[in-house]
Structure 1
Amino acid sequence: MRTYVATPKTIDSRWHVIDADGRVLGRVATLAARLLQGKHKATYTPFIDTGDHVVIVNAAKVKLTGRKDEQKVYRRHSGYEGGLREERA
Structure 2
Amino acid sequence: MGSNEWREWHLTPDGWVAGTFKYDGGCKSVPVPDNRVLTCVYGETIEPGYTAWAGVGKSEIDFSNNISVKWNCSDIQVIYTLLEKFGFCPKRLEA
Same fold, TM-score > 0.5, yes or no: no
Rg (Cα) greater in structure:
1
Normalised to the residue count of structure 2, the TM-score between the two structures is 0.22
Q: Which structure: greater strand fraction?
A: 2
Q: Which structure: greater helix fraction?
A: 1
